[in-house]
């Protein structure tokens, strides 16, 4: 390497270090990581300097959006990540087109509830999680919980004189998903706290509920008839009611696997 080449290389290294420093100051880590690779691509493919800058900024925005969605999913506290693309619609009465429309997020804008009714193993939780993931991808604030976990959290907050603060946190979430409503009867205190969460969202924010009970049997969950009527009124008003059926495709899948093993 002659002196001129060495000087040029040293100058290039200083410039690259300077670019990385600017990126740190501007908090643009993706640009710092990719500017050199994209520069080589631009030279090789004959792109203009404007196209190069566009590619850099696009890479930065894309990575920020990916991280923002990931952060929303983590904040949602989903038990696992599932999507509608993974759902076995061939084994369910649920319609792919209707769920795809809901995944578009219009129900969030209109503060409309979604109620998934069906027996265990019919895909209610899978669909609910999928709708939550779709909302996270739209950068919505989402929170998933089971009915039992929600009641436990609120009862503890009440015991610590923090109930108003806890209810406020739930009220600020754009999409609340309450899973497994109906599997465990609620005591009077729990029923009242559940009503508060549901009532606070009525016509103001989206709610997703999964339940194994038809509406006629919700009295098993909310023993107080007046409270039960008030909950039903708010949950069903302008709601999208989806029935996942009474035959567990999860159980059918298990039987099919066993049958294959014995063949």
Supply 60's token pair. Answer: 């930065």
- Its pTM stands at 0.83
Q: Kindly list the distances between the CA atom of residue 23 and the CA atoms of 71, 197, 199, in Å, as whole numbers in the listed order.
A: 22, 44, 47
**Quick one: angle between helices 163-171 and 147-159, nearest 10?**
140
Query: Secondary structure of the chain in the HEC alphabet?
Result: CCHHHHHHHHHHHHHHHHHHHHHHHHCCHHHHHHHHHHHHHHHHHCCCHHHHHHHHHHHHHHHHHHHHHHHHHHHHCCCCCCCHHHCCHHHCCCCHHHHHHHHCCHHHHCCCCEEEEECCCCCHHHHHHHHHHHHHHCCCCEEEEEHHHHHHHHHHHHHCCCHHHHHHHHHCCCEEEEEEECCCCCCHHHHHHHHHHHHHHCCCCEEEEEECCCHHHHHHCCCCHHHHHHHHHHHHCCCEEEEEECCCHHHHHHHHHHHHHHC
- % pLDDT > 90, the chain: 65
Per-residue confidence band for 208, with pLDDT thresholds at 50, 70 and 90: very high
Task: Report d(CA 242, CA 207) in Å as an integer.
Answer: 14
- % pLDDT > 70, the chain: 90
Measured torsion, CA atoms of residues 102, 106, 109, 111, in degrees rounded to the nearest 10: -40
Task: Report d(CA 149, CA 156) in Å as an integer.
Answer: 11
- Sorted by where each starts, the structural domains of the chain and their CATH numbers stand as 3-76 (no CATH), 84-254 (3.40.50.300)
- Tens of pLDDT, residue by residue over 86-117, are 999 988 999 999 999 999 999 999 999 999 99
Burial grade of 117 (CB within 10 A; 0-12, 13-18, 19 or more): buried
Supply 86's token pair. Answer: 């993974």
- Tens of pLDDT, residue by residue over 224-263, are 999 999 999 999 999 999 999 988 766 666 655 655 555 5
- Tens of pLDDT, residue by residue over 138-188, are 999 999 999 999 999 999 999 999 999 999 999 999 999 999 999 888 999
| Over residues 52-59, mean pLDDT | 88
Place of tokens 């600017």: 22
Q: What's the CA angle centered on 210, arms 200 and 93, to 5 degrees?
A: 135
- Tens of pLDDT, residue by residue over 65-93, are 999 999 999 999 999 999 999 999 988 99
């Amino acid at each position: 390497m002659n002196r001129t080449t060495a000087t040029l290389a040293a100058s290039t290294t200083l410039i690259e270090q300077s670019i990385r420093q600017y990126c740190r100051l501007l908090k643009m880590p993706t640009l710092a990581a990719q500017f050199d690779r994209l520069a080589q691509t631009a030279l090789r493919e004959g792109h203009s300097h404007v196209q190069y800058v566009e590619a850099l900024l696009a890479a930065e925005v894309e990575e920020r959006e990916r991280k923002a969605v990931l952060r929303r999913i983590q904040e949602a506290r989903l038990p696992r990540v599932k999507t509608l693309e993974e759902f076995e619609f061939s084994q369910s009465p649920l319609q792919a087109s209707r769920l795809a429309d809901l995944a578009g997020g219009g129900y969030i804008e209109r503060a409309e509830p979604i109620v998934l009714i069906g027996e265990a193993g019919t895909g209610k939780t899978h669909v609910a999680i999928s709708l939550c993931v779709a909302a996270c991808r739209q950068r919505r604030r989402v929170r998933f919980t089971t009915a039992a976990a929600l009641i436990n959290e609120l009862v503890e907050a009440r015991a610590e004189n923090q109930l108003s603060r806890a209810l406020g946190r739930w009220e600020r979430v754009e999409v609340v998903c309450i899973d497994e409503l109906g599997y465990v009867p609620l005591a009077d205190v729990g029923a009242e706290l559940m009503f508060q969460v549901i009532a606070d969202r009525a016509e103001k924010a989206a709610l997703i509920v999964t339940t194994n009970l038809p509406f006629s049997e919700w009295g098993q969950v909310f023993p107080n008839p007046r409270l039960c009527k008030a909950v039903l009124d708010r949950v069903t008003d302008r709601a999208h009611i989806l029935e996942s059926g009474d035959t567990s495709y999860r159980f059918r899948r298990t039987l099919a696997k066993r049958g294959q093993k014995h063949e």
